Structure 1
Amino acid sequence: QAVAPLARTPAAAAEAGAHRAAYETIVDEADFARWLAKIEQCALTAFDTETSSLDPFAARIVGVSFAVAPGEAAYLPLAHDYPGVAAQLPREQVLARLKPWLESAQHAKIGQNLKYDQHVLANHGIRLAGVRHDTLLQSYVLEAGKDGVRGHDLGQLASRHLGLATISYETLCGKGARQIGFSQVAIEQASEYAAEDADLCLRLHAVMYPLIAAESGLRHVYEEIEMPVRDVLFRMERSGVLIDGELLSRQSREIGQRLLDLESKAHTAAGQPFNVNSPKQLAEILFDRLGLPVKKKTPTGTPSTDEEVLSELALDYPLPKILLEARQLAKLKGTYTDKLPQMVEATTGRVHTSYAQAVAVTGRLASNDPNLQNIPVRTAEGRRIRAAFVAPPGSVIVSADYSQIELRIMAHLSEDQRLLDAFAQGEDVHRATAAEIFGLPPAEVGAQQRRVAKVINFGLIYGMSAFGLARQLDLERGAAKAYIERYFARYPGVAGYMATTRETAKARGYVETVFGRRLWLPEIHSPVAARRQAAERAAINAPMQGTAADLIKAAMIAVQGWLDAEHLQTRLLMQVHDELVLEVPESELPVLRREVPRLMSELASLRVPLVVDVGAGRNWDEAH
């Protein structure tokens, strides 16, 4: 059943939809031929697909829209299906005629999140080329994290930059259980919505791109990093990764048994049975029956039993430690060992994650459905999950990982001579820091002293206070404060960098990465001290984390470009933090071991050498 026409008063409709006045619906061969000629002659065409699903591998085309100038847009319905639907041009014949234009690198195209449309077209055997611009990525580069910016979807962008109210998907298709598929939307309404999507891309490009082009740093990030990596991510998502489902099933059964054992231990430690998954019962056991100290409360005023609280209590009491272990195991089981085998794509036999570019304000990628970036590497269980990511026969998994990248970026940005010297000479930087703080020769630094130095090195990157350091190292606050003071006395460049960065952030409202990405700090002048201090910590950390994010994206572009130029069969599979994971035919392994570290280490001219560790194995755990 098609949705009823949009309910608007004539005056409101005229005002809200004035920009849609000249939209067309392509219903016959003559219209199609005319529009095909238009897009073939257009310098930059906006393009969008309407589909049967949000799943990029399952989605099929319902219709496509084009815009060749602001206000000059059209919708081409191809697979609408409801009682009384008008005749449409045959989808496969239309796509066959559009294919040369879609696959032409010479015909420039713009869209909103075109990576998704690229997957949809690939499902129809079409390889999209000529993608010059993406309004999602323009907004991300221009205004991610800026005050008042809540998102980058087309409706939000149109409201923010054009002052236009748009037709929402929910208006057409409804919400929740009653939502219908796009193929059931009446063509007249679908046309207004879809043509508007294409039209808005051109209008937004005219506003946002000049702002990016006017700033050399932003232009570099957009044109040399975000746009090229978009295509690399598409190819990685398309490749997917092979997993050993039987290994994960065995692990699921073992974790299930361990959870039962831990539940029994928890009941013994509590002195009675209780539901370990009930926060209410858990609070009663911990705070009423056992009398443990309340660390913080929920918004409703009841004692909190969240992970932070349990971690603190676990230092002194057995039950919270048991509960914490059980929670972590249950999370692994639910998120990975149970779920991953169910997420294997039937057509490829692989798991395909989706990489979101426009989420983290620092520039880091986000992996979704499944999230492959949060598999813990420090626990035996986490490593066993990584062991289930395998190479097919005749190939190996290769991991290429930047070593201590954020500390190296700190040395570069701060220009601290002692730090620069430590990295230049290839020293163990944590041992070198411990030697400085404790006034010892490096050879005499013990394991505990190195651990203290490591926590300080990484902690200061994230703006850790003396209180935070004391808690992490289980020290008196005075001792932690003395360590930090000693650190800054020995590394004055770091202290200077932090002070300068805070002032820069306050003056400009943003900080920048080495590559020119802007990281906005809307709370830097907040009257609330806690928010202002959090913004100051972010100001110090963001250039390091953001530069590392830019660097790994640049590495992906360089490695993929080299693989293509050399016509190698190796495939990039995953990007996880500062690591690239590849599937490599055994015959190509020697050249990969030699060239990938070279490519990754030569990407940026920093004041310290970039070091890349490379490992290979039958699975991801062996390789890392």
Structure 2
Amino acid sequence: MSEQQQHLYLVDGSSYIFRAYHRLPPLTNPEGTPVGAVYGYTTMLWKLADDLDAADGPTHLAVILDKSSHSFRNDIYPEYKANRPDPPEDLRPQFPLIRDATRAFSLPCIEEEGLEADDLIASYARAAQRQGWHVTIVSSDKDLMQLIGEVGGARIDMLDTMKSARIYIPEVEEKFGVAPELVGDVLALMGDSVDNIPGIYGVGPKTASKLIAEHGSLTAALDSAPEMKKSKLKERLLEGRKDAEMSRVLVTLKEDCDLPQPLDEMRIEKIPEEPLADFLEQHGFTSLLRRLGSGNGSPERANNLHPAKADTQGDAGDVEGNRQPLPEMPAIDRGAYETVQTMDRLEDWVRRAVAARLVAVDTETSSLDSMQADLVGVSLAIGPNDACYIPFGHGGTDLLSEKPEQLDRSAALKTLQPMLADPSVTKVFQNGKYDLNVLARYDLQVSPIEDTMVISFDLDAGRGEGMGGGHGMDELSQRHLGHTALTFKEVCGTGKKQIPFGEVPLDRATEYAAEDADITLRLYHHMKSRLAIEGGTRVYERVDRPLIPVVAQMEREGIKVDRAQLARLSEEFAKEIGRLEGEIHNLAGQEFSVGSPKQLGEILFDKLGHKGGKKGKSGQYSTDQSVLERLAGDGAPIANKVLEWRQLSKLKSTYTDALQEAINPDTQRVHTSYSLVGAQTGRLSSTDPNLQNIPIRTALGRQIREAFVPENGNILLAADYSQIELRLAAHMADVDTLKDAFAKGEDIHSRTATEMFGEVTRDTRAQAKTINFAILYGISRWGLAGRLEVEPDEAQEMIDTYFKRFPGIQRYIAETLETVGERGYSETLFGRKTWFPRIKSKNQAERQGSERAAINAPIQGTSADIIKRAMVRMLPALKDAGLADVRMLLQVHDELVFEMPESDVSAASNVIERVMAEAALPAVKLDVPLAIDIGTGTSWDAAH
């Protein structure tokens, strides 16, 4: 960069603070002060310094913060930002520490009473631009997009670090439909609920953009209103003019503030290590302190931010995620990894792994489908940077292409097998179920195993709420190790240019594969110790870790489906879908695409004139199921027909068509994939295909289940826990009435109907059944009213009566919410934690949603733990009973599905029932018996 062309980076520090806070589980420093946001902010600032490209990096940099919540805008409009909740209690003491963190980097930290950070950023940006400097604003705030553009060769752009994307004029025009200088006019029309800027009621982003684009300014758009045809928009523009004009003042950035610190003092040089090291040590940020001491990723200059790598960047994982320090480890060095290309070197690695008694293992394959993937190579890690990649499936697909020097697969696997099966050597995986299935296809048995993905889930389920809180290796690496791993896309490319891993050059393949094993081993050392400290050992060792090979074996077993029957159903569904479509068109008076929500909404509300149509932000009517059910209840026949059409279309595409495609060509069976970390309460989830959502209460759903069949000579057996969640509620809430009913084998819904309504009829039993389950999900009066089709007041009376008859349930709910509010997590009888970070949210919808989930999580989670314990014990028990031919195929909610010779049904039923009934023992002794319903048949439907 020339001396004349300076480049100022202005960091919107306030947005960094809240992003850091909301990505963190609790973290305190050695003095007990909350520092989660401080740590996140520090790592984000560090990452920014690392990532800025030296060729386009800053010559000057400053962090801009909000000094207080009051600004001159509150004097103009007292309700400005009135909707914003107060900062969380544990965030307030972190604000001064965040300022300390900025100064520890020896960076200017600028704030000014009465001004917002946006105004200071605008003033600095314009001042620098007037001096001919380039300016980059590090933020994604839409208000700041008004500043983007070029004057006299000096350019202002933005950098969104969350997406690692540069924002310039084309991006602004794509977002708002207008140039940056008109963004304020669009914002004034549409308003901002977050900042409580009124705008004009009913004018959304699309309408605002269209008006400003057509008329060229806010004033011109408002002036055009009197000449418009009569419409709601015309009325709103006329009535809301004053609000829009005031909103324009509120969104206008103040660009002429006095600058608290001269631009020249913002020059960035090498950041002195001493103040930063002192700060990191003071607050116990040991992993960052090691990075500073190692020189790896030292926050000196930027070197690798490229828009093309946006998918690999971001700061979601830049958090430690807990208060346990990392074991001492050197920084990751991909150059230290070895490519194993001779049998001598492989044998040496195997000897060292056996001697170490602990080795991380990862497989590289040709496909994500573990049942069809070819094994391309295996990586091992014995210690930090002590990792290797063993290739044996690399080379082009062309038979004439030259293959690199690599091992023979059969010989390599034969050498690895003793170590993989050695009971004295622990094998550590990340999502090991996949690797076990791949290795099993080559007759390789692996035991014992550990799994960092499952450990993470048992420690932190629910903590991240989808914001960098997942359990994938890349996220865990960023969160716990502060390291961004190589991604598959970086190595293999994307789209049409993507190559199979087997075609990746060995040096690059080694960096990627060995790093995965290295990271997995580091994560294991870091997280395994947390299990004991944070109370996760019991559920990991007694429930989840033993389940991994069991679920892997179930996936390999798969289940047979009758392709011909599925094809017949698809054909029947297609005919019925066509017939329904014709009826819908007749009722509509025209043809249209029934599957188009936009066209359907226009038919329902514009053409047919049905009442209650509501348009969303996209400008189109909502036509979701609740809307159609309401219209059907109001007597609209077309709504019923569309509901039928949607159900059939979904069943056809999701099941009857998809299941045929999912049949494995080698096994002729369908192999679902179970996720051990898919549901926060601990339940298994099923994908590719999803076999857990096939409807069971409809004739159509039962027809689909009829297509699941055994092999010739065999039979299917389904074993289902009967009302397990109600039984657990009776135990956990200590409700004597319910415990007595279950002990006597009474019909619990009839007993509840007697307690509540004084009599048992078909209607009162049905109502009691709905109430029994709804209460356990924390249902509101309005929710129950909707389910029972009664008035909310009547529903509330039912809830009150229920709590009077079963006070233990009400006490359980209150105690659960109090406990979760204090701790931040719920807990099952087996110690499984589910975190609820939003349980104290000022946002009512967020808080109530968390409360409902928290009420049910201990019960549903305990139910999940029990069936998992039954699954772990099942096959050994069957084998001990001489029933080795009985295979466990599926787990669906509270049900297990088996396949067996018909001659084994009687003996197997006894074993299966006993194992399931005793699954909680000896860890937990329940006050109620667990009842199991068992059925058999020549299809899943017949057995269920």
Q: Please state which band the TM-score falls in when normalised by the shorter chain.
A: over 0.9
My pick for the range that moved more, 303-312 or 504-513, is 303-312
| 2:624 equivalent to 1:309 | no
Aligned pair 1:249/2:567, yes or no? yes
Corresponding residue SS for 2:336: coil
1:4 maps to none
Once the two structures are TM-superposed, the CA of residue 29 in structure 1 deviates from its matched residue by 3.3
1:480 and 2:795 aligned: yes
- Please give the alpha-carbon distance, in whole angstroms, between the structure 2 residues aligned to 1:563 and 1:227: 21
State how 1:528-539 maps to structure 2 within 5 Å: 528-539=843-854
Partner of 1:400: 719
Match of 2:580 among 262, 285, 297: 262
2:696 matched to which residue of 1? 377
Tell me how large the CA RMSD over aligned residues is.
2.0
Deviation at 1:137, TM superposition (A): 0.6
Asked whether 1:322 is paired with 2:641, we answer yes
Partner of 2:890: 574
Which amino acid is the alignment partner of residue 612 of structure 1?
Answer: I
* Residue 321 of structure 1, CA deviation: 1.2
Name 2:382's counterpart in structure 1. Answer: 68
Could you tell me which of 17, 33, 40 is aligned with 2:347? 33
How far apart, CA to CA, are the structure 1 residues paired with 2:424 and 2:595? 58
Structure 1 residue 515 corresponds to structure 2 residue 834: no
| Count of residues in Structure 1 that have an aligned counterpart in Structure 2 | 611
Alignment of 1:79-478 (within 5 A): 79-82=393-396, 86-131=404-449, 133-147=450-464, 149-216=468-535, 218-294=536-612, 296-316=614-634, 317-438=636-757, 440=758, 444-478=759-793
573-582 or 168-177, which moves further after superposition? 168-177
Cα separation, 2, equivalents of 1:32 and 1:445: 72
Q: Any idea what SS the aligned residue of 2:690 has?
A: coil
- Report deviation, 1:428: 1.1
Query: SS where residue 581 of structure 1 aligns?
Result: strand
What do the CA deviations read for 1:91-142 (whole angstroms, capped 9, x no partner)?
22111222222233332211111111112112223222322x1111111111
Q: Secondary structure at the match of 1:320?
A: helix
Partner of 1:49: 363
- Output the CA distance in 1 between the equivalents of 2:831 and 2:495: 42
**In the aligned structure 1, how far is the partner of 2:677 from the partner of 2:505?**
32
Distance 2:352 2:863 in 1: 43
Taking the aligned partners of 2:557 and 2:332, their CA distance within structure 1 comes to 44
SS at match of 1:214: helix
Distance 2:711 2:342 in 1: 48
> Larger deviation: 120-129 or 445-454?
120-129
CA contact (8 A) 1:296 1:309 kept: no
Aligned equivalents of 1:161 and 1:74: distance in 2? 22
The answer (yes or no) to whether the contact 1:56–1:116 under 8 Å persists in 2 is yes
Answer whether contact 2:332 2:385 (CA < 8 A) is retained. no
Q: Which moved more, 1:22-31 or 1:332-341?
A: 22-31
Higher RCO, Cα 8 Å, sep 6+: 1
In the TM superposition, residue 273 of structure 1 has moved relative to its aligned partner by 2.7
**Inter-partner Cα distance in structure 1 for 2:881 and 2:489:** 47
3-state DSSP of counterpart to 1:572: strand
Equivalent residue of 2:376, what SS? Answer: strand
1:309-343 deviation per Cα after TM superposition (whole angstroms, max 9, x unaligned): 21222222221111011101110011111121221
* Letter of the 2:533 counterpart: A
* 2:908 alignment counterpart: 592
The answer to whether the 8 Å contact 1:85/1:186 transfers is no
Tell me the alpha carbon deviations over residues 199-253 of structure 1, each in whole angstroms, 9 at most, x when there is no partner.
Answer: 111111111011112344x212111111111111111111110111111111111
Tell me, yes or no, if the aligned pair for 2:387 and 2:515 is still in contact at 8 Å. yes
User: 2:72 maps to which residue?
Assistant: none
Residues 357 and 364 of structure 1 are in contact (CA less than 8 Å); yes or no, is this contact kept in structure 2? yes
How far apart are 1:434 and its partner, in Å? 1.2
Could you tell me which amino acid in structure 2 is paired with residue 35 of structure 1? W
Shift of 1:607: 1.5
| Cα displacement (A) at 1:385 | 0.6
Structure 1 CA distance for aligned equivalents of residues 625 and 443 of structure 2: 47
Mind listing any 5+ residue stretches in structure 1 that lack a counterpart? Answer: 1-7
Q: Is 1:541 equivalent to 2:861 in the alignment?
A: no
Question: Residues of 1 paired with 2:607 and 2:498: CA distance?
Answer: 48
Contact 1:422 1:432 in 2 (8 A): yes
Residues 20-78 of structure 1: per-residue CA shift (max 9 Å, x gap)? 35322212233223212112222111111111111112211221111112221111122
- Determine the structure 1 residue equivalent to 2:228: none
- Counterpart contact for 2:813–2:855, Cα < 8 Å: yes
Q: Which amino acid aligns with 1:26?
A: V
Amino acid at match of 1:545: Q
Classify 1:361/1:127 alpha carbon distance in 2 versus 1 (closer, same or farther; 3 Å).
Answer: same
Per-residue Cα deviation, 1:379-401 (whole angstroms, up to 9, x for no partner): 10100110111111221100000
Alignment partners' CA distance in 2, 1:463 and 1:614: 30
What amino acid does structure 2 have at the position aligned with 1:573? L
Paired with 1:394 and 1:84, the residues of 2 have a C-alpha distance of 50
Identity across aligned pairs (percent)?
46
Paired letter, 1:370: P
User: Which residue pairs with 1:3 in the alignment?
Assistant: none
TM (norm. structure 2) is 0.63
DSSP-derived class of the 1:351 partner: coil
Matched, 1:15 2:296: yes
* AA partner of residue 500 (structure 1): E
Cross-structure match for 2:373:
59
